[in-house]
Amino acid sequence: MAGARIIEDVFGTLPDGRAVDRVVLRGERGFEARIITYGAALQALIAPDAGGACDDVVLGHDDIEGYLAHRQYFGATVGRYANRIANARFELDGETVRLSANDGPHALHGGPDGFDRRLWQITKVEDGPQPAVTLLYVSADGEANYPGRLDVRVTYRLTAPTELSVEFTAKTSRPTIVNLTNHSFFNLDGVSAQTDILDHRLTVAADHFLGIDETAIPLPGLPRAVEGTPFDFREATAIGARIRADDTQLRNGHGYDHNFCLRGGGLRLAACLEAPRYGRVMELLTDQPGLQVYSGNYLDGTKGGKGRLHRQSDALCLEPQVWPDAPNRPDFPSPRLVPDQTYKHNIVYRFSTSGAGA
């Protein structure tokens, strides 16, 4: 990957005077990932379209003030538990752990002050053919009432000319639960295009999804088959094709905001997103059991980067993770972590072009 390099600068300053640093990983054909230490967030991801023009394909803010004013998880590393925990409580080894609710009665994305609102530390910057940055956050035992000191690292690495890989690892001092993910909002037309994602074509490698109640908590019982429902993305389908169907699950989620139960195990292809207007294609690989598909239902017109007002369906989140509310569901994949284990989670965002597009 000749020409790949790293740029480091200061993105902004927190109210207490601490600097928020930014590291830019540069690949080929204009491909570029910009990571900030506030929330260990992917602040921008620049990718070429079918004609070679480059644009930012994730929502973000141009300055730290935007992130502080509006908690929207743009590109953030979320934890200690991504997604929802019902009634902000769970049982662990016979003890009840009570969390702070921040989504009605439930805990969402680590509660009121999750990892997305923490200043991470850069521990390693690697130049060369696969430029990378590693960030560290140490979550104290009892932070947000979660048990165990948790040492968390996330590494962003360009593993191919137009491929970004994200690796999460964590170690705990005593039994706890962990579920980390990246919360990027994607629009493959590019932020500058001022379009929504309803024409994007999505494929998800899942035969089942989790039905939810009106508060987005998974319902009792087995996962539901996608066949014959608006949740069947086993073949490429426009996101907007069925999003307004008269369907109880779409009403409960205000669109798509559901966990898809991925087939197989290990690092494998979980989803493909195609933008026909400009020909960008993104494949997402993960080693996690679930993929939360969120169609930007609660984007409310808040000002984002490049002066754009981000509104409903302006972007799509694809969040690999353990299933929501798993700490309260022994029938779900387990998020439990003990001291002699290392939590590991890998995501690959692989970009290409279709040869079509404007």
Within 13 Å of residue 83, how many CA atoms lie on the same side as its CB?
33
Angle at 273 between CA 268 and CA 278, to 5 degrees: 140
Q: What average pLDDT does range 190-195 have in this prediction?
A: 92
pTM for the predicted model, two decimal places: 0.96
Q: 244-258, 294-308, 327-341 — which is least confidently predicted?
A: 294-308
Q: CA 17 to CA 290: how far, in whole Å?
A: 39
Q: Tokens 């426009």 belong to which residue?
A: 238
Q: What average pLDDT does range 114-118 have in this prediction?
A: 98
- Which CATH number is associated with domain 5-353? 2.70.98.10
Q: CA 6 to CA 119: how far, in whole Å?
A: 21
pLDDT category at 298 given cuts 50, 70, 90 is confident
Q: Which residue has the higher pLDDT, 303 or 12?
A: 12
Tokens found for residue 60: 């973000």
The pLDDT value recorded for residue 81 is: 98
DSSP 175-202: SEE-B-EEE-EE-TT-GGG---STT-EE
Does the pLDDT at position 170 exceed 60?
Answer: yes
- Exactly one of 143, 200, 319, 345 is catalytic; name it: 319
Q: Are 287 and 267 contacting, i.e. CB atoms less than 8 angstroms apart?
A: yes
Strands of the 257-262 sheet, one edge to the other: 185-186, 316-321, 290-294, 257-262, 206-209, 224-225
Q: Are 79 and 114 contacting, i.e. CB atoms less than 8 angstroms apart?
A: yes
Tokens found for residue 29: 């054909």
The pLDDT value recorded for residue 311 is: 79
Is 167 noted as a catalytic residue in this protein? no
The pLDDT value recorded for residue 307 is: 65
pLDDT category at 1 given cuts 50, 70, 90 is very low
Does the pLDDT at position 310 exceed 90?
Answer: no
- Exactly one of 61, 106, 109, 183 is catalytic; name it: 183
Residue partners of 4: CB distance under 8 A and separation at least 6: 25, 26, 27, 28, 127, 128, 129, 130, 131, 158
pLDDT category at 300 given cuts 50, 70, 90 is confident
DSSP H/E element including 54: strand 54-56
What beta strand segments (E) does 256-337 contain? 257-262, 268-275, 280-286, 290-294, 300-303, 309-311, 316-321, 336-337
Q: CA 45 to CA 229: how far, in whole Å?
A: 33
The pLDDT value recorded for residue 108 is: 98
Mean pLDDT of the chain: 95
The pLDDT value recorded for residue 312 is: 85
The pLDDT value recorded for residue 305 is: 63
**pLDDT tens digits for range 28-62:** 999 999 999 999 999 999 999 999 999 999 999 99
In terms of Cβ atoms closer than 10 Å to its own Cβ (0-12, 13-18, 19+), residue 307 is exposed
Q: What average pLDDT does range 169-177 have in this prediction?
A: 98
In terms of Cβ atoms closer than 10 Å to its own Cβ (0-12, 13-18, 19+), residue 132 is buried
Q: What average pLDDT does range 98-115 have in this prediction?
A: 97
Helix/strand number for the chain, H first, E second: 2, 30
Is 106 noted as a catalytic residue in this protein? no
pLDDT category at 67 given cuts 50, 70, 90 is very high
Domain ranges of the chain: 5-353
The pLDDT value recorded for residue 333 is: 98
**pLDDT tens digits for range 313-350:** 899 999 999 999 999 999 999 999 999 999 999 999 99
**pLDDT tens digits for range 123-166:** 999 999 999 999 999 999 999 999 999 999 999 999 999 999 99
Q: What would you measure as the largest C-alpha separation in the chain, in angstroms?
A: 58
Q: CA 56 to CA 255: how far, in whole Å?
A: 25
Q: CA 45 to CA 113: how far, in whole Å?
A: 25
